[in-house]
Structure 1
């Protein structure tokens, strides 16, 4: 799975629940207490009427069935969540029915989410909604979003334990007003393949035909692509081989930036890192070395060493073309999972023209905000947060990612859980994400939970992805920043200032690469950024950074 554009896409990638159904009804009281972490902590200590309707221990969570209305973002090809096995079985366990009042494709999510908030016609909770920090602090401050601090302390022992274990994650989801308005997607820090999401993959068969080794430098990378372009691998007498392909240019830029020493604090912050000359925070797209990166990619584009439709192609077309074996290298997750092509290996971190060898495309353990947001219309906040907390625990994580034994997975002789063949090698040609989505909801990302290598078997967890990441790990940044949060006032400034700067840099990035704007205009580009308020933009980030350090 592409952790979502996440990193791609995400990256990036991932989440949580157990194995159960029929076996749930047969559990003893002792087993129920063991399966629900609240049982092992304390009886809910709340005077609210809703909390009084909860069982103090075990499953089901509620003594009598309740309904919680939720808004959800999801991949457009995903099964209707009202019919999804995961949610049906979890309802049986908990006595909590989720009414998915809105299931919005990710492509339309921001527009629909903003409209729902603006007109005030929002439900009790937002799930997998990618709620941005700007909305969290704004609507949280206004009281439309509930403060979760005490609810987490009292009813979410799994999440509380993770916050204690990974204090940077708690710091990142805590807004400047000291409140937590959302629960995050957390990647186990040791699951580095997921934290790197999409990678550059090389067609080893093509390398062998060319008689060359995998590239070590940016010059090697260029020469490899050039040789791929000049070789008629399919022997059809046409120059139709594509040396490099991806959906969009961001994956390639993320891979190359580290070879010029850029992105030295990872990718969670985006276009800001630390100036190595001690000048404080740096805006990467205005740095002279970033100009060199764009010049390098412009050369690849001009010489048709990367797909000509890289700025316009969509994921479905990319998958269709990739499945024909026409690509010499690609950006994404394990090609055996996505384009169903064997023989690709991960590309190593390249050494650049100034001697830098850094792999910058790494996130912090917190990869997504907005996994779950409770609104002031929620009549059962204690039950809702406890419903969610199960996904942060061992059993919940297993069910959320792996599903149900004998249906979606089996246990191998060595004890490992593996998806059934209908998911791994679907006879109808469905890739893993598509096959899993008939039962589970994690493909597409945005969920609340913890992603571990033990249970996450998306493309980032494949053996090939793990091996590719091992090559890159020695070159990770020594310090990786999580998201920074802004005050209401800072968000107001960023709403116009930051948006204009980010849109302008993205537009000019494409124009420089395609040659629509010559590099002789670079100084004018930087000058315009400064006039747009780049100094103030960095000042806002610096204030957030100072809070983060404290």
Structure 2
């Protein structure tokens, strides 16, 4: 049986390995490195800077999640070239996104650990569980010695460092770091053709927005075009982190801090699930739904279908981070309209996102070289290499010095994301690297940057990411998150369809109390207090 086939048998024998895994875990815990040591003391043949990273050959095994946009990792030009550049040969053990979490769990349970996980979405709970056990090693010492790019980013963006630091002070996994604001916000796009046909200017209030959508409906009578649509089928987990719902929440001045539906004022964290602002927003959406100004198929609509509708010029208004697949001669960006509650807010994502993108295990005999390997992608040169490949082959520079993908990539019939995914790992999110002004051309087109200018004034100064909760409450927090998200998602859907009667709203608020919403809010307050120490 081949090495890979043996690992494939894990799923058939995992139940036999449970007791062995616990024993092995205890043994590894005893031998776990301290954060001060950073990891092993073995750094033979390691170059502190430059390439190659090692003078003596090093072989590593990485487990990775294959996003739908990816080709075969073994054939990716960027990874092949990076092996030549670094002197480090990586065996990539890649599993599809659909069953990756199950496979990842089996690897942890069987102690059949790789040297590192990449593009793997190591959850907060997993970071705490396997970090405190010693299975995932602390990285802050390695960052300090062998991660100059990460170290510089954490110094410049201290909130990003706070987001990835566990309550015990250790960093067990690395994120994607997004410093380009346009890559963290949802722009409001409206169909300029329809506005012109209706003789309208862009709405500045929610009352004007309603009238605009009514006009969109009138000028498209007898067609399958819709004034507005929400990809509710994409709104899993916390539904308000979905692009469209994030934008709508922003119009009503409902902030998204600490990775959830809450805001921070005067050092106090407050969830807004039971707020008057949210109720007013749902009343508005119910009105749109009843009058078919909101596509009544929204609850089965996913992002791919919504993008297809936008591309076919069958939507009047949408929220999107980018203009990919959008005809910017038809769709233009506009400032968020105001609700009756006052100024809106642009709900930007945190600088540190895709937490758990990269983690090193205690099986790794070359953690210093591994840190140098991944740190390259957090600098300008390395991030451009990861995202664009090789100049003259997969990209070039235009007269203004902007990076431009090759015609072969730009004209690929499958779409640009799939063409890029044949050569490198970043499409589909989750890759450990920095996204900044120099490499984020996909989100810095003139149309997108124009849209960003229109919301710059309502951007929050600081955006905290989802915190890593203390081990003592992590399991309860995770269970409560799932229960509250599910209840809110189901309730909001009903309110949009059936209306927001006062008695139903009171029942909803009472159920939130029974689910422990105040205790849940307190978890975030405790994390915020820890950030601010």
1:334 and 2:322 matched? yes
Query: C-alpha displacement at 1:518, in angstroms?
Result: 5.2
Deviation at 1:341, TM superposition (A): 5.8
1:339-388 CA distance string (max 9 Å, x none): 4563211131221112x212241122212211211111112211111100
Aligned counterpart, 1:415: 401
Superposed CA offset, 1:506-534 (max 9, x none): 22111211228855311111101111111
For 1:127 and 1:473, how far apart are their aligned partners in 2? 33
Task: Verify the 8 A CA contact 2:247 2:319 in the aligned structure 1.
Answer: no
Output aligned runs, 1:85-164, within 5 Å: 85-105=77-97, 107-164=98-155
| Distance in 1 of aligned mates of 2:399 and 2:261 | 47
What is the CA–CA distance in structure 2 between the aligned matches of 1:203 and 1:497, rounded to whole Å?
40
| 1:379 partner SS | coil
Equivalent of 2:182 in 193, 204, 209: 193
- Normalising to structure 1: TM-score of the pair? 0.84
Task: Map residues 479-494 of structure 1 onto 2, 5 A cutoff.
Answer: 479-494=462-477
Report the CA distance shift for 1:251/1:298 in structure 2 as closer, same or farther (over 3 A): farther
User: How big is the shift at 1:267?
Assistant: 4.3
Q: Kindly indicate whether the alpha-carbon contact (under 8 Å) linking 1:268 and 1:363 is maintained by their aligned counterparts in 2.
A: no
Asked if 1:51 is matched to 2:39, the reply is no
Contact 1:267 1:360 in 2 (8 A): no
CA distance in 1, matches of 2:399, 2:263: 47
Which of residues 234, 241, 247 is equivalent to 2:225? 241
Q: 1:280 to 1:452 in 2, by over 3 A?
A: closer
Q: Judging changes above 3 Å, is the alpha-carbon distance between structure 1 residues 443 and 80 closer, same or farther for their aligned structure 2 residues?
A: same
Count of equivalent residues: 489
CA RMSD, 1 decimal:
2.3
Q: Choose 526-535 or 66-75, whichever is displaced more.
A: 66-75
Q: Is the 8 A contact 1:46 1:52 kept in 2?
A: no
Residues 1:427 and 1:130: Cα distance change in structure 2 (over 3 Å)? closer
Deviation at 1:307, TM superposition (A): 2.3
**Do residues 372 (structure 1) and 358 (structure 2) align?**
yes
Consecutive unaligned residues in structure 2, runs of 5 or more: 1-36, 236-241
Which residue of 2 is the match for residue 272 of structure 1? 262
**SS in structure 2 of the partner of residue 328 of structure 1:** strand
Correspondence for 1:443: 427
Please show how residues 7-406 of structure 1 align to structure 2 within 5 Å.
50-105=42-97, 107-188=98-179, 191-196=180-185, 198-232=186-220, 238-248=222-232, 250-263=242-255, 266-274=256-264, 280-335=268-323, 337-340=324-327, 342-354=329-341, 356-406=342-392
1:539 aligns with 2:533: no
Q: 1:297 to 1:412 in 2, by over 3 A?
A: same
Cα 1:56–1:267 change in 2 (3 A) is closer
Larger CA deviation: 208-217 vs 157-166: 157-166
The answer to whether the 8 Å contact 2:154/2:161 transfers is yes
Check the 8 A contact 2:68/2:428 in 1, yes or no: no
Superposition deviation, residue 86 in structure 1? 0.8
- Give, in whole Å, the separation in 2 of the partners of 1:328 and 1:531: 40
Tell me, what secondary structure is at the counterpart of 2:213?
Answer: helix
> What SS class does the counterpart of residue 65 from structure 2 fall into?
strand
Q: TM-score, normalised by structure 2?
A: 0.86
